[in-house]
Structure 1
Amino acid sequence: MSTPAPDATDVPVQFDPHEYLSSDEIWWQDHQVWLEQCGYMLRPRYRPGWIPSWRGTSRTQYMCEDGQDTNRGHVLDATRIEDGAIVVLKKIMSSRHPYEVEISQFFSTDLLSKDPKNHCVPIYEVLNVPDNDDLKLLVMPLLHAFYTPRFLSVGEAVECCRQIIEGLQFMHAHHVAHRDCGKLNIMMDPTRLFPKLFHFASPWLSRDISGNAKHYTRTAYPTKYYHIDFGLSRKFDPAKGPPRAWPIRGADKTVPEFEKSGDPCDPFPTDIYYLGNTLRTVFLQEYRGLEFMKPLVDDMVQDEPSKRPTIDDVAVRFDLLLESLSLWRLRTRLRPQDEHWILRPFRICSHVFRTLYYILTFRPALPRP
């Protein structure tokens, strides 16, 4: 007697993770057990045996927490099991970026990490990937893009500028050229600004993606800004003569000297250009009210590297600008260049009442953490 064929509904549906996960995401899933043994738990999407929560429901992928994919396959968030802190893991291929781990750890040594002028991202730990001798994982704090949410006052903007100038000055004082210190490689500590943090793959959403990520203002909860990503950075020995490095294009493709020659050049003036162009694009081109910074920024982005100020000169000139600003000027509302006229009166009223509250509660106009 023949065995009847099983009903189609009785056959388990096979799930292929490649249907939803990129090759980079598959790598994280394949290493989840090892990372858990190291003390770091990945989100459900990256655990072996994961089944999408929206399968068989009327929900779409992006309505679910485990449906948030990431387009940055070399970095991922994790929960530190020991204390529940959210950290970021970054894959480093040593053969491609041979100095990144060394320079990152250099700025995280006990002596340098305690210096308030150090704005290099802290490194908690370096993990050696067991099945690939060329790969290492940097364990860092969770950070957020520094330019969002928007700056609301002159004081908030200039404090951010002061910190990132101070951070680059600290690096240059230790003979390290960042070589890619543009908009994408400057971030901020979100722990005070975002009381419940945010979703790593969708930073505008809460961690459970139930709504927008709640945030305070930078004046109410001052934050610290950081330089990140030392993949192109180099440390130079001043005893060996003037620093020289082959041009390498970072995220900012507008460096004038790279258009003129491919010969080795001094990377420190290039850092000044990167930082000046960041101040120009993030602040001067986005807001009204920061025009006093324009002469300094114009000098920083000159085509001829030798005509640009050093970072020490930039810091001195910026401090002089800062000293010239009154408290009322620091509390002045920053108006976005593209602000719609309908929104303007509402934002002005909000700013007036918010500023009055800050004055009454003794919130400083220059929000230093």
Structure 2
Amino acid sequence: MPFSKDELRVAFQDALLVNPYLDLEHFIGNHVGGEHFWVNLQPFLLHRGYRLRPRYHSDWRAPWSQGDSLDFRVYEFEEAVTLMKGRNLLDAIRISDGARVVLRRVETWRDELPIAQYLSSPDMQCDPRNHTVPILDILLLPDDDEHALLVMPQLILFDQLPFRRLGEFVDAFRQYCEGLDFLHEHRIAHRDACWFNLMMDGSKLVPRGVHFMVPRTHDGLTRGLEWHDRSSVGPIKYYFIDFGLSKWFYPGEKIESSGAYGQDRSVPEHKVEEPHDPFKVDIYQLGKVLIEMIRVRLIALVKPPFPDKNIRNTKAWNHYSKLRLQ
């Protein structure tokens, strides 16, 4: 029969002999940190058609303590994988079609929600230059007017799988440059167009999918992925995610902002107090990723020493288009 939590606390010292890095709360099967938010919301999400992993079900019990004897090899269970990305992100399965999705908790008063709604509108999604993650659904939370959940397809980091051919790499950054130009045309500054916000659709590359919390695995346990080259499965779609720092400028409003540090703290405009052009910051941030990946002639183009010499994305896009034809 299942062990009680008091019995598990007593057995914890023995468990440490097997795994000295084991955490007590983890071992006895308690949820930690932001996990409580998702456990409390699980019945609501199920009713709305989204199934969380077993660990986040309201009636979950740690499987390593449910038999006639304790299994001290806790980390050999997928359900031991805890939430390490804070309380604002979690994966789920859309019950209607089995699609892997990600739920993102956002504050309703920020620009992120209206930006997401606008960019995912039918007209915007029909534009091939739109490389922002599509919003599949918006869930208003019960008894909480200050937050909502955005439902998005589960993506993988743009460089999680190696680029094998120059054309694959060129296509990725063509899409990112085109995507920034599209955002700026619609007066939207991303303000964090950095490494971990550059994603790709991995559904054709990794047909078995990746574990959301342990993306180097299919199941959260076994290292290694079965995957295909980009060029062998046809065009890959690349996306920008995370508009939590983004700003949408009204027609006629001056394009300038201040603060809002993203992942890249080397942005020249952030070293001065004066308002700056956030569109230029976007192209600097994306250019910095490009530099880190290839370190070629674009260094002089996108990383000048003075903020007022930074170029706009349209000019960078023209230079890039010429370069990729060489």
Please indicate, yes or no, whether the TM-score normalized by the shorter chain is above 0.5: yes
1: distance between equivalents of 2:190 and 2:178? 13
1: distance between equivalents of 2:312 and 2:5? 63
AA aligned opposite 1:92:
V
Give the structure with higher Rg (CA): 1
Q: Which residue of 1 aligns with 2:63?
A: 53
Q: Does 2:207 match 1:223?
A: no
What is the Cα deviation at residue 11 of structure 1? 8.1
2: distance between equivalents of 1:71 and 1:277? 27
Q: Which residue of 1 aligns with 2:43?
A: 33
1: distance between equivalents of 2:5 and 2:250? 61
Q: Which residue of 1 aligns with 2:13?
A: none
What is the Cα deviation at residue 297 of structure 1? 3.4
2: distance between equivalents of 1:61 and 1:143? 28
Q: Which residue of 1 aligns with 2:12?
A: none
Q: Which residue of 2 aligns with 1:78?
A: 92
Deviations 1:118-146 (A, max 9, x none): 10000011111102211110000000011
Cα separation, partners in 2 of 1:199 and 1:59, compared to 1, 3 Å: farther
Asked if the contact 1:269–1:306 (Cα under 8 Å) also holds between the matched residues in 2, the reply is: no
Counterpart selection for 1:301 from 286, 292, 303: 303
AA aligned opposite 2:92:
A
Counterpart selection for 2:319 from 299, 317, 323: 317
Q: Which residue of 2 aligns with 1:87?
A: 101
Percent sequence identity is: 35
What is the Cα deviation at residue 176 of structure 1? 0.7
Tell me, what secondary structure is at the counterpart of 1:239? coil
* TM-score, reference length from structure 2: 0.87
2: distance between equivalents of 1:203 and 1:168? 26
Deviations 1:309-345 (A, max 9, x none): 2111111111111122xxxxxxxxxxxxxxxxxxxxx
Asked if the contact 2:180–2:313 (Cα under 8 Å) also holds between the matched residues in 1, the reply is: yes
Larger relative contact order, structure 1 or 2 (CA cutoff 8 Å, min sep 6): 1
Could you say what the CA RMSD is over the residues aligned between the two structures, in angstroms?
Answer: 2.0
What is the Cα deviation at residue 68 of structure 1? 1.4
Q: Which residue of 1 aligns with 2:269?
A: 257
Q: Does 2:193 match 1:191?
A: no
Q: Number of matched residues? A: 303
Counterpart selection for 1:141 from 153, 156, 171: 153
Asked if the contact 1:272–1:301 (Cα under 8 Å) also holds between the matched residues in 2, the reply is: no
Unaligned runs of 5+ in 1: 1-8, 286-293, 325-369
What is the Cα deviation at residue 296 of structure 1? 2.4
Deviations 1:164-215 (A, max 9, x none): 1111111111111100000011100011011110111100111363452211
2: distance between equivalents of 1:266 and 1:13? 56
Cα separation, partners in 2 of 1:147 and 1:20, compared to 1, 3 Å: farther
Counterpart selection for 2:32 from 22, 32, 35: 22
2: distance between equivalents of 1:174 and 1:211? 42
